[in-house]
Structure 1
Amino acid sequence: MFKTLIAASAACFALLCGTAQAAAKPDLAIYGQLPSVESVEISPDGTKLAFVATNGDERFVVIRQIGGSILKTIYAGAMKLRGVEWAGRDHLLVVSSRTAEVRGVLGRSREYLMALDYNVATGQQTGLLRNQAESMNVILDWPMVRMIDGRPFAFVEGVHFVNNYGRNTLYRIDLDKQTTRMLDFGSENDTDGWLVDASGQAVAQSLYNQNSGRWGLKIRTGMNWRKVDEAQAPMGSYGLSGFGRDGQTILVWRTDEKNNDLLREYRADGQRADLPSDIDLSGLIHDPQTLALLGGYKLEGDDLKYTFFDPEAQKTWNAVAKAFGSERISLSSWSQNRRKVVVLADSATEGPAYALVDLDARKAEFLVQVYKNLAPELISPVRSIKYKAADGLEISGYLTLPRGRDPKNLPLIVLPHGGPEGRDAPGFDWWSQALASRGYAVLQPNFRGSEGFGWDFVKAGFGEWGKKMQTDLSDGVRWLAKEGTIDPKRVCIVGASYGGYAALAGATLDRGVYRCAVSVAGPSDLKKMLLSVREAHNGEASSSQRYWLRFMGAEGIKDPDLAALSPAKLADKVEIPLLLIHGKDDTVVRYDQSQTMADAMKKAGKPVSFVTLDGEDHWLSRGATRLKMLTETVAFVEKNNPPD
């Protein structure tokens, strides 16, 4: 579908269009480069588009008139742009992040969010929270945009220091006048979130104590704040999820006594009600003007299902989805009246692309491919699979097969996801596609502990870190070998974050399955990692630490079981080639985790390769270093597990 639109459309962004060249082994940059376009946002009045564009390592914010030319291109250099958001007709908020160690702030370097306002009419750029007394110029969450008397305001959570202690404090920014006012609503040391209504009034406050794991909700009535609920939430704050169905109630994503997810609406008087159990959502959609909850979406199996409470809205969305045929579409943004909709359409044969749907004109317009130069002949087929683990638990996942090769006795790369409570999903995956372009089958298993398959499936992963969570991967290898799809003697494991740990565990704990292993930002010494998490929280216990321990099955940092699960303590058992890759600016899994593994390998007299990605974070946010990671990984597996 999209190839036809590409050929016919004159709306292609000139800055980004390119010609794809087919090759036996295509350039890895086609897959490893950053997306050419991200975060396509339509203005509230439906007349303009704004998006983040990338060319190599250079990033831009582009503003374009719908049906017309580019109005403005803002050069951002190598800045890590995280997205854009319109605030009225003439203001565009640009959010970025930066890894930094701030003088006077306890702990190691962290990833800090920042935002600036770009005035489309005047061309003026202004950093939010600049020059605020006793405050940092960083934001703690995405800005809340509110139109008050027809004028745009941004409400921002920032850090204000009281007696040398940083508090989550709410700021009100008049974007037209460029004035900022700190709103003193009695924030506490434990405040971790705010909610502002459509009139610009702060109406709810979330509190969370990292040490005790206790969450609380305060709602404002008149000039007074009252705590209306509190609960133990050892794995992290429940926070605030916006407004409920009437645009007035406060919505919180809670868990019940069985740890099932539920959406609870709170009234100002403390009365509460849970949304019906048949409303099963994982993401929420709110009205851009009234802020009322309209519905949401959830990945059910391989289908991304959107649910709207209003039957007419549901009918409209179904019509939009139907127009794209077999493409898997998701909502990117829409105009204030919801009549112009930007969608991301992911085609199994042509990759992801953005399109604009005009419901009044009843037409869809192709905008741009997400990955420049990605042609259909460069995309390998992906199919859903299911197999049984050794204990009988059903594991689902995705198998990418190299294009043009007979799917028999293929070399295999196992590519486990991070989290570990994450999941792989259908759709274009740049990493697996890059590996498949070299001739490998790629297995992405949703091992036990992965989200999206019910609480019992998540709970099945508790205490199975490095155990059944690991053998779920090798059980998939054995199943594919039994099916005749892969050659069990030609299998490597590659992963990042928890997937990087799984790669290390494949070399130390579940041996005899893999010919080589590549760990990208993988934990190697679990005790050391937990200590770094505690250090990041000023020596206190934290929800992050409790999250890890739940899957590790350990009682605490001193638990001897941690050593038995730590690849760095088992380096003498490694019998396969090992490659470590790590970003120097990683603030999630610290760089020293790979250093520790490399040192342990050398001490054990084992060969190891170690690649440092200078200036790179945990998410591979920079183009050059992301491509370097992919290039080094492919060269390593091709050497140690030749695909031909």
Structure 2
Amino acid sequence: MRKRFIVMVLLATAATPVHAASDAAKKFGAREEVQQISLSPDGKHFVALVSDAKRGVRAMVFPTDSDTPPVVVVASSGEKEQLDYCQWSNNTQLICGLSITVGRVSGMLGFDRIVTLSADGKDMKLLSARTSLDSVGIMQDGGHVIDWQGDAKGDTVLMTRQYVAKSDTGTHIAGEGEGMGVERIDPVTLHRQTVERPRPIAREYIADGQGHVRIMGLRPTTGAGYSGARMIYQYRKPGATAWLPLSTVASDSQTEQGFDPYAVDPALNVTYGFDAQNGRKALYKIALDGSLKRDLVFARPDVDVAGLVVIGRQHRVVGATYVTDRRQVEFFDPELKKLQTSLAKALPKQPLVRFVDASADESKLLLWTGSDVDPGGFALFDKKTRHLGGLLRSRPPLEGVTLAPVKAITFPAADGTPIPAYLTLPVGQTPENLPAIVMPHGGPGARDEWGFDWLAQFFAARGYAVLQPNYRGSTGYGDGWFQKNGFQSWRTVIGDVNDGGHWLVKEGIAAPSTLAIVGWSYGGYAALQSAVLDPALFKAIVAIAPVTDLDTLRHEHDNYMDYNLVDAFIGKGPHVRQGSHAQNAAKITAPVLMFHGDLDQNVGIGESRLMASRLRNAGKKVELVEFKGLTHQLDDSEARTTMLDRSDTFLRATMGIQ
């Protein structure tokens, strides 16, 4: 489980060329229209980040109780900057985060900043702290809000700040210190007060929703300045200033051990967090009164607890989620548990329900609902009137399009282990001798879930059966299923992926001559590595932003603080060469099509360029499509349309599909 990270959106340059696209590619390639949404404290307005036709985003304020046209309050083109989120600091004021990257692939540097503005789009101000000419370092992190109720009146917020050392002579370090601290800030007047002094190794602060910082996370560094493998958590008793030991979370290439706090409940005076129980992630609470009394809140014998459910401006903990064949919620709050039952009856065709936000008094709830054949939409539920009213749909271009049902299945691995997976079959076709695709998920620390998937649904709409395996190496099934991770245990992972292909053929669903593999990120790695392990199985390979060489991936982190963590995750030994298809290109026989954004900081585009070069030198068929100015997610409707259309054309031409 990963959390609390800064998203850095990279500088875009030339526009992506538009390839002639099928109608299906345009509809499925269009980005999700609502990127993020937030409800005002009084419940009378909501702000939504709405995608434009290409890669930009507009923050729009809508009334909840009338058809008054929305107001565009701020926008980003996606070319040089990206708007990441907007939240309400009060009924008339917004706080928005944006990010930008300067430089090119050889020297990219990401920044994020927070601004405040009125709900009519006026009086925009920089909320992030400003640096001065005396600053010794660079402030990349513009901070993030950790408490929207920064004082008793709700007029301020608590926000982290990266303090940068200053020099007044060139040798003497002066100023307020360096590292991460916390400030109480008035978004209107910009008056700021330090409430937590900066500490060089501070990485995280957790507040209680009432304006008090109760937990601090420290990550010691190595002698070389890299991040260490331990997070040390400390806490405060109510009203106290002294920090006391809480827990230590130790990470290695396989697991995290130790209590990892996520939220504080001030009424119960406890912190909720996750720790292992019998090899699976479970939810615990620990008393913050000095006793450190620890209680198990929720656990499952079959899967990990996936996350917390929080609601309202104070992020009140009301439940936990877990994923078996589909995501489910265990509510601790009796009222919400009852509401969950009512919604299930009212929305039988939209079984996936997510609580997104709430008014300050929690009388109005902002919900998202959807299913495997419904991309979903947002609605407002009024507890007093019991009225559920629709607000915005997630993917308007797909309205009226018949989507393919997704079925949870298992198939046997070569050693007999049942591998959970999702099978999507094209609508109206007999599942016999179909063109088929195995689609391993990215990560590798991730898993697929039941629900709408634009990539799988596109291929199903084009007549392919799609199998998405949660191979060993996926998260959510406990430490034993995770193995040593998807790189060090690549033979097990890729074996499971390939066994999915064999199962499709054995069951008669797939024709052996029209079986392909498509993957993104680690899924792209798995797609290419599958052909190293079993060259004859897949007849065509599509890899999007793939890892292709493990040592190259390792050295992409040479100048970053997380180098030691990445180095340990990849590991050393024969698996590095054997598990790198760029070093085994001669074994691949199927034609390869790759896509990559040239501003990808997750997996450098150099990996795809290296793979293309090695395949060409080995006399193999390969094509690499590069997208200018795009990052790992190819978050551009035109680029995604091009990618879908060219993938479909490539698969059909390669495998002789009409």
TM over 0.5: yes
Q: CA deviation at 1:636?
A: 1.8
Distance 1:272 1:530, change over 3 A: farther
- Corresponding residue SS for 2:141: strand
Of 199, 204, 207, which aligns to 1:188? 199
> How much has 1:323 moved relative to structure 2?
1.5
Does the C-alpha gap of structure 1 residues 140 and 300 become closer, same or farther in structure 2, counting only changes over 3 Å?
A: farther
Equivalent of 1:152 in 144, 152, 155: 155
CA displacement, residues 491-550 of structure 1 (integer Å, 9 cap, x when unaligned): 111111110101111232221111111111111110121122243227x512x333x33x
Alignment of 1:167 onto 2:179: yes
Secondary structure at the counterpart of residue 384 of structure 1: strand
Where does residue 616 of structure 1 map in the other structure?
Answer: 630
Q: Which runs of 5+ in 1 are unaligned?
A: 1-23
Give the aligned residue type for 1:512.
A
The aligned residue for residue 545 of structure 1 is: 567
1:423 alignment partner in structure 2 = 447
What CA deviation, in whole Å up to 9, does each residue of 1:217-276 have, x standing for no partner? 122353333334335333679764111473532333233684644434241526231333
Q: Which runs of 5+ in 2 are unaligned?
A: 1-20, 167-172, 223-227
Change (3 A) 1:592 1:183: farther
Cα deviations by residue, 1:185-209 (Å, 9 ceiling, x for unpaired): 3x43221101223342322210123
Q: Deviations over 1:594-638 (max 9, x none)?
A: 121122223323332111111111122233333333233222222
Q: Is the 8 A contact 1:218 1:229 kept in 2?
A: yes
Q: Call closer, same or farther: CA 1:452–1:137 in 2, change over 3 Å.
A: closer
CA drift at 1:121: 5.6
Question: Is contact 1:351–1:376 with CA below 8 Å preserved after alignment?
Answer: no
Q: Aligned letter for 2:232?
A: G
1:353 to 373, 377, 393: 377
1: CA distance between counterparts of 2:482 and 2:369? 29
The answer to which of 506-515 and 412-421 deviates more is 506-515
Aligned equivalents of 1:585, 1:142: Cα separation in 2? 28
In the TM superposition, residue 285 of structure 1 has moved relative to its aligned partner by 2.6
- Shifted more, 163-172 versus 126-135: the winner is 163-172
| Deviation at residue 180 of structure 1 after TM alignment | 3.1
TM-score for both structures, normalised by structure 1:
0.87
- Answer yes or no: is 1:275 the counterpart of 2:286: no
The CA distance in 2 between the partners of 1:388 and 1:321, in whole Å, is 33
Change (3 A) 1:291 1:415: closer
Alignment of 1:468-487 (within 5 A): 468-487=492-511
Query: Are 2:65 and 1:73 equivalent residues in the alignment?
Result: no
Moved more, 274-283 or 617-626: 274-283
Kindly indicate whether residue 141 of structure 2 is the aligned counterpart of residue 138 of structure 1.
yes
Q: In the alignment, is residue 514 of structure 1 matched against residue 538 of structure 2?
A: yes
Match of 1:395 in 2: 419
| Alpha-carbon distance between aligned partners in 2 of 1:62 and 1:360, rounded to the nearest angstrom | 27
Contact 2:408 2:420 in 1 (8 A): yes
Equivalents in 1 of 2:529, 2:147: separation in Å?
Answer: 43
Identity value in percent: 24
Aligned to 2:233: 217
**Alignment partner of 2:414: what SS?**
coil
Render the CA deviation track for 1:73-128: whole Å, top value 9, x for unaligned: 133222433332222211222223333459xxxx9535544322221167222232
In the alignment, the residues of structure 2 paired with residue 76 and residue 157 of structure 1 have an alpha-carbon distance, to the nearest angstrom, of 24
Q: Is the 8 A contact 1:26 1:378 kept in 2?
A: no
For the 8 Å contact 1:506–1:517, the answer to whether it is kept is no
Tell me the residue number matched to 1:316: 339
Indicate how the Cα distance of structure 1 residues 152 and 76 shifts in structure 2: closer, same or farther if over 3 A, else same.
Answer: farther
Please list the CA deviations of residues 528-586 of structure 1 after superposition, one character each: whole Å capped at 9, or x if unmatched.
21122243227x512x333x33xxxx4x3xx2330111000011122111112111111
Cα distance 1:136–1:268, how it changes in 2: closer, same or farther (>3 A)? farther
Distance in 2 of aligned mates of 1:407 and 1:39: 37
Partner of 1:4: none
Match of 2:125 in 1: 126
Cα separation, partners in 2 of 1:159 and 1:625, compared to 1, 3 Å: farther
User: What CA distance in whole angstroms lies between the structure 2 residues aligned with 1:152 and 1:632?
Assistant: 52
The alpha-carbon distance between structure 1 residues 411 and 290, as it changes in their structure 2 partners (threshold 3 A), is closer
Deviation digits for residues 455-474 of structure 1 (CA, Å, limit 9, x no counterpart): 33223757764312112112
- SS of the residue 1:136 aligns to: coil
C-alpha RMSD over aligned residues:
2.8
Aligned-pair CA distance for 1:425? 0.8
Give the aligned length: 606
Which letter does structure 2 place at the counterpart of 1:308?
A: F
Q: 1:254 to 1:98 in 2, by over 3 A?
A: farther
Of 36, 52, 64, 2:62 maps to 64
Secondary structure of 1:595 counterpart:
helix
Paired residues of 1:206 and 1:240 also in contact (CA < 8 A):
no
Q: Deviations over 1:14-59 (max 9, x none)?
A: xxxxxxxxxx963312111111123222212111111111121232
Please tell me the residue identity of whatever aligns with 1:409: N
Q: Aligned in 2, Cα 1:521/1:175: closer, same or farther, shift over 3 Å?
A: same
Matches within 5 A, 1:76-95: 76-78=76-78, 79-95=81-97
